[in-house]
Structure 1
Amino acid sequence: MSSLVYGGYHQADLDRQYSPSSCVADISTFLTAYAVQSAQTRTEVPVRTDILYGSLPCETVDFFSAPGPDAPLLVFVHGGYWRELSKSDSSFPARGLVPAGAAFAAIDYGLAPEYRLDEIVGQVRRGIWWLVENARDLGVDSRRITLAGSSAGAHLVLMALLDGWMPAGTHPTDVFAGAILLSGVYDLEPVRHTYVNEPLGLDADAAARLSPIRHLPDRLPPLVIARGGAETAEFARQHSDLVKAATSRSAAVSDLVITHRNHFDITFDLDDPDSELGAAVLRQLGLSGRTSTKTAGNSVRFDWDIGGS
């Protein structure tokens, strides 16, 4: 029998634990939905695509303006295990959030193995800071910026909440109104023992340095930490460990387990006001009040009132 690799798991079992697709019948269904719904959103919601936030071709952001000035902003960082997907697969939350009164931005970054994880972290931080610095020109209230990420994107968002990368004297907790972390990987030590590490090339030192749960600051902004019910035991553990670590550091931590969702489709709740996650997002953005009316074709139109949280 093969020897144990990490946490009581043999290699095949550990690989399975860090394979979210092992919990769904066909991952391609969700990846196709990301692309199709995002492309449709970009035809229906005004957007500025491929805005450069850095000097590299991959350092771009798509920005969906809010319908009014001084709006809250949700910044989304996509997942894909730091090696797949792009901002072009991440437009779909704008379909509901922009009519609700929020601006929405999807950040792109270079992928492994072309870029090391340290570089990817730096790119996402630069993209986020560009949005902070340009908030006024974008019609955004810089005090109402919320970060959101899914899977690897949740890891990258949490890395952006650590101290030490902003201008001197500036702390992320004083800049961001909050963060939405979905099905994230926050400790990379087990990851480096799996197939996921093949394009990343993490050693023990890099895994420790790039594990945000090991470097949490004393203060964190309000957090929504969520995962699907159909997740592996390791993803559930990573979620629970972060909830425990963050609770004493944040004024508000919402611990959500969305039982009918999985690792991939939980993102579809981000702009759904009738879902537990969507309602939490709207509260975080300071948007409240909704009535719905049926329109032709049985689609639903939402009429929103904008108010403080």
Structure 2
Amino acid sequence: MSDVRVVVGPGVVADPTLLSEVAEREFAALGVKGHIRYARTVGELRPDGGIPVILPGPDPAARALMSEPVGPVVWLDLTRDDRVSPGKDARHLHGRGVDGLAWAIRHAVHHTRHSARRVTYGPHPDQWADLYLPPTAAASSGGLPVIVLVHGGYWRSIWAADLMEPLAADLVGRGFAVWNLEYRRPDLHGWQATTADVAAGVGALAGAAESALDLNRVAVAGHSAGAQLALRAAADGARVALAVSLAGVLDLMEAGRRWLSSGAVASAMGTDTQLYGEASPLARLPLKVRQLVVQGSGDDLDLVDFSRRYARAAKESGDDLTYLEMSGDHFAVIDPATPIWRTTAVAMANALR
């Protein structure tokens, strides 16, 4: 594999030592060689080989470069910028602060190591899914079970499907096909667009024209706010055999009242409590779909509360539900290196036999 080459453009407001520390930590964690350099001019931002991760900075010429066809660059803005349309084969992450550099390096390395076929299900740039198949897919008999991944991020556009890429790689290694779903987020497009996209994106799996897939063994698995979207899709009749909540926001009424994540529910959905009821998995019980609810005990206590109460209510409603709570924080449930994820993956495999 080529080296990861991080380039920091003129005018990027961040401590250089801290950026270097973040980059070196990720290089070591991913087992790659890499280096970071600081460009003095916009001309020095152009990729010159390796796996490029570029922080362009505020210069107008640097911003214009992002839309040019310069290859498979990961462009990173520490601040939020929803206006960027990256050039062909390039990707753009933004609004995650200094820690965004870690996500950008992971994203760049993932796409070098793992191939996927992008399938669009609508005309907007955010209406797509990446289909991953294990190398043995063509030889499998009876078709592969499929995991549809729905990312979280409290319904905000700074978070995207790259959050679920480590799980996609892990699940493919376990013999699953993976459908990593992107969708329009409500902060830019409204709540109805988000709900419609998740339904359409899950439904588009049937048209992916992959004979290797067993569409009778499909699980939809969402993380955090993505779990609300995943279980909502199941409640609305998505054709799935299993719905999985990974640290899910499962009670929207209480999440709104408790001002979870600085008012994320109201920001996404407004203040219409009837809409909360239509969207909240807890209010939609029974789902009449087999469910797996996974929760890290070291997570936000409100999410622990939601998961425990939801699991109890779902069982009382007659739903077939398994509740799994183990040590771990909010991101442990989507980290392939953790015991809670490894236990979750086994539970999903058993449910889809």
Could you say what secondary structure the match of 2:312 adopts?
helix
2:111 matched residue in structure 1? 42
Q: Is the 8 A contact 2:241 2:289 kept in 1?
A: no
2:93 matched residue in structure 1? none
- Which residues of structure 1 form unaligned runs of 5+? 1-26, 164-170, 286-308
Q: Mark the CA change 1:35 to 1:140 in structure 2 (over 3 Å): closer, same or farther.
A: farther
Per the TM alignment, residue 114 of structure 1 is displaced from its structure 2 partner at its CA by 1.2
Moved runs in structure 1, 4+ residues, more than 4 A?
A: 27-35, 248-251, 270-274
Partners in 2 of 1:129 and 1:231 — Cα distance?
31
**Structure showing greater relative contact order (alpha-carbon pairs closer than 8 Å, 6 or more residues apart):** 1
Verify: 1:115 aligned to 2:183, yes or no: no
Partners in 2 of 1:56 and 1:127 — Cα distance?
12
Per the TM alignment, residue 214 of structure 1 is displaced from its structure 2 partner at its CA by 0.8
Per the TM alignment, residue 232 of structure 1 is displaced from its structure 2 partner at its CA by 2.6
Q: Is the 8 A contact 1:34 1:90 kept in 2?
A: no
Per the TM alignment, residue 80 of structure 1 is displaced from its structure 2 partner at its CA by 0.2
1:191 matched residue in structure 2? 255
Please list, as runs of the form range in 1=range in 2, the aligned pairs for 1:1-309 lying within 5 A after superposition. 34-49=103-118, 51-66=119-134, 67-68=136-137, 69=140, 70-83=143-156, 84-131=158-205, 133-134=206-207, 136-137=209-210, 139-163=212-236, 171-172=237-238, 175-193=239-257, 194=259, 195-197=263-265, 199-200=267-268, 201-217=270-286, 219-221=288-290, 223-248=291-316, 252-259=320-327, 261-269=328-336, 275-285=342-352, 309=353
Per the TM alignment, residue 36 of structure 1 is displaced from its structure 2 partner at its CA by 3.6
Q: Is the 8 A contact 1:155 1:186 kept in 2?
A: yes
Q: Is the 8 A contact 1:78 1:87 kept in 2?
A: yes
Higher-Rg member (1/2): 2
Which has the higher mean CA deviation after the structures are superposed, 54-63 or 196-205? 196-205
- Structure 1 length normalisation: TM-score? 0.71
How far does the alpha carbon of each residue in 1:17-68 deviate from its partner, in whole angstroms, 9 at most, with x for none? xxxxxxxxxx97986655443432322222113x211232211111112332
Partners in 2 of 1:272 and 1:63 — Cα distance?
26
Which of the pair is proportionally richer in helix? 2
CA RMSD after TM alignment: 2.7
Partners in 2 of 1:252 and 1:235 — Cα distance?
21
Partners in 2 of 1:62 and 1:270 — Cα distance?
22
Aligned residues: 247
Per the TM alignment, residue 95 of structure 1 is displaced from its structure 2 partner at its CA by 2.0
- Structure 2 length normalisation: TM-score? 0.63
- Which residues of structure 2 form unaligned runs of 5+? 1-95
Q: Mark the CA change 1:250 to 1:270 in structure 2 (over 3 Å): closer, same or farther.
A: farther
Partners in 2 of 1:34 and 1:72 — Cα distance?
28
Partners in 1 of 2:341 and 2:182 — Cα distance?
29
Task: Give me the identity figure in percent.
Answer: 25
Q: Mark the CA change 1:252 to 1:41 in structure 2 (over 3 Å): closer, same or farther.
A: farther
Partners in 2 of 1:264 and 1:284 — Cα distance?
23
Amino acid at match of 2:129: V
